[in-house]
Structures are given as structure tokens and as C-alpha cells.
Structure 1
């Protein structure tokens, strides 16, 4: 066990989130416990409670880290609509293959539904902000139509989020490559001047 004086270091939070990801993959969301996360992270339960009030808050932080991490891992390849659409499709493809994110969507739909139908989560806000910035830039070069960049970014989020969530449903019709092509086509059509 780590000493109390060391339990506020930033890497402890990362270890806890890594342990939570490992638990999600091993047990599914519903069977994840703070006790098991603490054991895997090598910290006490109070150390976790100092950062997150409960398992749901910790899982929300885990999803935020994973989603924002994917956004960082898929850099923009320039400015303009084509680069923006390519980045959004790249992020969507990576998220569709993220075991932790998809485990949450499939094993705990009630948890995921909060961020699908009830409120925007932190990661969704970050995604909207990033896409809105790129839309603004693309509007300046004329490759994206006029309109409120934040509203347009929110619509891009809805289109893409729906694609990620429903990909399994349409897999017999749209394999991964076809899905990416159709998502790009949809986003290009929506954003085109």
C-alpha cells in the first residue's frame, strides 16, 4: 500500500483508471467494485474516494480519458472539410474498436444511455469544442458551409455517435470499411457549402 503522502500524485489517478479499465474488461461494468479497483491499483479505497465519489463517477472519468485519448491520438491532417471529416471518421473507427468503451456500451446500456439521451458528458463537450474549432477554420477557407460552428459540431457528434452505437446492428450490411465510407459521405454532405 502507498503512503498517504504519496497518494495525491497524478500517476496514482492514472493507475486507478488503468485498474478500472482492467476490471471492466475482466468483469463487465456491473460487477466492477471499488475494492477490486483499489486492489489492482495498489491503493486504498479512501485514496479512490478522494478522487471520485463512487464507481459510476470513476467509470465516467475512465470513459472521458479513453475518448479524449483517442481524439489526441488521431491528429488533424490539415485544415478544411476533408481533413475534418477524415479526423472524425478516424476517431469513430478507433472508438468502435476500443474494448473498454464498447464494453460499457454493450454491458451497461443504462450507464451509457445517460450520455446518449440525457446529458452531454465531459468527453462529448471536449469533442464538440474540438470539432467546432475545426469547423470555424474550414468555414474561413470556404470548404464548410456557413452556420454556427458549435451547433454544427453538435450535429456531427450526433451523427457519429449514432454510427458508433449502431454499427453492430448494421454490420451484416455495412462492414467496417463501408461504414467508414458512408459516415464520411454523410458528414461531407452535411458540412458541404
Structure 2
């Protein structure tokens, strides 16, 4: 077993989270894993408690790390070329849903322990909303035309994107999210609805 005193704190945290990810995928979210994670990481159980706390805190830290990884990968995709706002919006949603569908740790939790994972997208979603919105907003600001900026908030568009993504990741509906073309068409249809002109308030009732 490695002495934590001989390793820098950042490396300790990463080793613990790497071990936790493997243990969760192999054993599930509801298994008591502190001893297993400690053994796999090569540290003592007190070291795990010192750096993270209980198992729930480790899972929280792991989700935060995975969100950071995702945003780092998404960033160059949205910067890849000049786009229209509508194209960037659809690309961000489609890429994220596909990324989540292929994410082993997330899918394991949604399938086997939804009571642990779903709150990240519902009752405990505020931290993720804030991080994701903060990362997406600069991209959407770059894609807005001056006319669009006068009418819409890039931050509101970013939060709307997150809420669509959360729904597509966590619930089943009419669209098959495994079919990228169908998913892209569905998101485009949502966007077309959002940009429909308002009804004519002066039209005679029929």
C-alpha cells in the first residue's frame, strides 16, 4: 500500500477516482465500496475519508470530474468551424446525448441505480446546470447575430440546451437516441418550434 505522504494531493485524488470508477462499473453504485476502492487505489481507507469523505461524496466528485472531461472534449467541437446558431445548438445536443449514451459509468447508474444518478439531472441538477451553462454560453454568444442578441439570452439558450439534453439522456420518448440521424432531426424540429413567429394577436377569432 502506498503512503499518501509520498504522493502529491492531486495525484492521490485522481488515483482514488480512477479506482472508484472501475469499482462502480464492476460492482454497482449500491455496494459498499470504500474498502475495495482503497485497495484498488493503493491507499488506506482513512486516506479516502480524508480526501473525499463517504461513498456518496466520492460518487459526487466522480460525476464532477466526468462533467469536466466532457466539456473539455465538447469545447473544440463547438469551436471547430464558424457555424450558425441553429447548427451549433443541434451539434452540442446531439454530441452530448451520444457521449452520454456511450458513457459506461453513467449508463450503469441509470440502468441499475437511477435513485442515485437521476437527482444529478433533476433535484440536484443546479451545480451541473451552472457549470454546463457557463461553458456553453461563450460558444453561443459567438454564434449569435446582433439581431439574435437583441432578442434572446445566450445563457437562457445554454440552459435550454442542458434541459433538452437531460431529458433525452434520462427518459425514453418518441425518438431513438441511438439513431444519430433521427436524433438530429428531432432536435432540429424542437428548434424550429422555438423560432416560430408569435401568433398574430390581431387575427380575428375563428
State the TM-score bracket (shorter-chain normalisation).
Answer: 0.7 to 0.9
> Using the alignment, how far apart are the partners of 2:122 and 2:40 within structure 1?
33
* Partner residue, 1:45: 45
* Partner residue, 1:186: 190
**Offset of residue 26 of structure 1:** 0.6
User: What's the RMSD between the two structures over aligned residues?
Assistant: 2.6
> Using the alignment, how far apart are the partners of 2:164 and 2:183 within structure 1?
12
SS at match of 2:72: helix
Q: Is the 8 A contact 1:16 1:37 kept in 2?
A: yes
Q: Is the 8 A contact 2:133 2:155 kept in 1?
A: yes
Q: Is the 8 A contact 2:90 2:184 kept in 1?
A: no
Q: Is the 8 A contact 1:93 1:180 kept in 2?
A: no
> Using the alignment, how far apart are the partners of 1:78 and 1:189 within structure 2?
26
Q: Is the 8 A contact 1:64 1:122 kept in 2?
A: no
Q: How does 1:96-175 map to 2 (within 5 A)?
A: 96-120=101-125, 122-140=127-145, 146-167=151-172, 175=178
Q: Is the 8 A contact 2:97 2:177 kept in 1?
A: no
Higher mean C-alpha displacement, 155-164 vs 181-190: 181-190
**Offset of residue 159 of structure 1:** 0.6
* Partner residue, 1:18: 18
> Using the alignment, how far apart are the partners of 2:196 and 2:33 within structure 1?
47
Higher mean C-alpha displacement, 175-184 vs 45-54: 175-184
Q: Is the 8 A contact 2:168 2:177 kept in 1?
A: no
> Using the alignment, how far apart are the partners of 1:125 and 1:191 within structure 2?
25
Structure 1: segments with no counterpart, 5+ residues: none
> Using the alignment, how far apart are the partners of 2:184 and 2:6 within structure 1?
45
SS at match of 1:43: coil
**Offset of residue 142 of structure 1:** 5.2
**Offset of residue 40 of structure 1:** 0.8
State which structure, 1 or 2, has the greater radius of gyration over its C-alpha atoms.
2
Higher mean C-alpha displacement, 146-155 vs 36-45: 146-155
Q: Closer, same or farther in 2 for the Cα pair 1:65/1:145, shift >3 Å?
A: farther
Higher mean C-alpha displacement, 22-31 vs 111-120: 111-120
Q: Is the 8 A contact 1:127 1:157 kept in 2?
A: yes
Structure 2: segments with no counterpart, 5+ residues: 198-206
